[in-house]
Chains A and B, each alone.
Chain A
């Protein structure tokens, strides 16, 4: 049995929508009024006949509201389907389970993604990264690979607004992260 943690979206009224993290039959969703705490098993998810536990993220809790799958004995759900809505409990103000803010320092010169795609910091899973924090780069240095529509291209340290030589201060995405066009990839300070 695996554990699947539901994904959540914060609602304007301080509550949360709990979304199905996979495709399957959800069994035994709690009825309206039931209080769910962070980390609790809220229902079972049956995938190809095998039942797995569906859990609430540690940072989320609330009271089950009417609607969606609340109280349903069997709920057929696709990825991202709303399973339940949780109303905020009176004493809890800020329990959002969103991810940390961007890992961006954003004061110095920045190299940005030329296209939306997947960014790799190393040439292969068992290879050393192209650059590390503290490295000094010059024009033409490869800083990573960008996978766009199954095609890999090198991302080079290059551009009129970048200093001729720069020290890497920060590498923003992790290896294999999806990046949007214009998203910061690397941040620098000028080096002499």
Chain B
């Protein structure tokens, strides 16, 4: 077999922790990474000694979200591949096509597959055709509020009206009875038009007491697909995941196996390439129902990497370069149980208010002697790092592997205790409270609940000064 021709220079169209993770994978493969940075990140510690191209101002629309600038920067820095990371332009099919049109390989799925998965009803239809469970609701987009009322009456209340081009919790409204449908339809339509430039809506039955479970998938360019198990990401606040773990502790093995098989089939059917994630809702009836597919690397990918002992980012790069999957499903064996806590620069005692500022001390827990590989810290921070006001609050991800869930939980509490961050408030106390709770330990909670944590009310008042 001929040796794989890899890229020599990779453009990293992202910042912070994911930029560090991608550079690490590039280094491992002997590829030179080039960082596209905003003015605010020009002197970020992770760019020290690295090649950088300054894209523009701190405001993301003038740097990380500016398609033309990012692509031009990749071209003129001599890069032949571009990794979009997550967030920013990672799921923008127009960007993916623009990258490829200028002779740079986009590390991700083909643009048309990304576009299809970005629209909710084609995605849902493709998944149902491959045999995945889906949430009962409208056949495609709704014509008007009258039709919404008819469909709602047939699937049963409560229902959720959702934006066809939506995401991030925007453009959604709940209707609990027939009387609510018209108002909810109007509001969801207006918000969808404003946020996504597409006012079309579809409707699903609202399943309230569920768990968020997602399947990690990896596909090459030749139709070979494997899954890397399932993660449970039910500990969320305002749709922001805070704790993830794998294997998913509350799914029946038969349902899990059936879903893995269908998810792999669906991935192949849609012509997917690279790393992707299907998100499911585990409802009270024990069935997994497809919600959406994220056509990119996930923040929580490390959970599956640790569990299965694979490197998803080097796999993404090799696949983009045309390599075949080296792993067969039979070779992928989960080892123990992995939990991840997202350490954000937020103050849980003040309603998770962001806490920009200087990190004066930063001491991640050390891997104990003899247990190498059981603790992992992904971060772009170091002592003296300044959390700026421009971007999100993720400071670090702490991952711990245990022999089983209970062992991982205990080790995570120890690791949290050993993690020293001073200068900014973080979510560490929140994680300690959740992991120490009965509810978390027994696994008895639903998506969106914060087991073991009671949130105080949140307001930020202006500070008054007299001249």
Contact = CB atoms under 8 A, between A and B. Distances in A.
B464 interface: yes
B461 A178 contact: no
A149 to B, nearest CB: 4
B464 A111 contact: yes
A113 B352 CA distance: 19
B123 to A, nearest CB: 25
B467 A48 contact: no
Interface of B: 39, 52-59, 63, 68-69, 71-73, 75-76, 98, 102, 194, 345, 352-354, 356, 387-393, 458-467
A108 B465 CA distance: 10
Interface string A80-124: 110000000000000000000000001111111111111000001
A23 interface: yes
A158 B465 CA distance: 10
A110 B353 contact: no
A71 to B, nearest CB: 20
Size range of the interface on A? 35 or more
B392 A108 contact: no
Given A159-B463, A161-B465, A81 B54 contact: yes
A148 B350 CA distance: 14
Given A79-B39, A108-B467, A116-B389, A23 B462 contact: no
Given A114-B462, A159-B463, 12 more contacts: A23-B54, A23-B76, A79-B69, A106-B467, A109-B464, A111-B464, A117-B389, A155-B462, A158-B462, A159-B461, A161-B466, A178-B58
A57 interface: no
B54 to A, nearest CB: 4
A78 interface: yes
B59 A158 contact: no
Interface string A58-90: 000000000000000000101111000000000
Contacts of A118: 389
Nearest to B71: A48
A111 B345 CA distance: 25
A108 B467 CA distance: 7
A159 B194 CA distance: 35
Contact of A80 (B39, B75, B389): B39
A183 B467 CA distance: 13
Given A107-B467, A160-B464, A149 B69 contact: no
Given A80-B39, A115-B460, A156-B459, A109 B466 contact: yes
Most buried by B among A48, A182, A185: A48
Contacts of A117: 356, 389
A47 interface: yes
A143 B462 contact: yes
Interface in A111-148: 111-118, 124, 143, 146, 148
Contact of A22 (B58, B69, B464, B465): B69
A156 B464 CA distance: 10
A129 to B, nearest CB: 16
Given A23-B53, A151-B353, A153-B353, A78 B463 contact: no
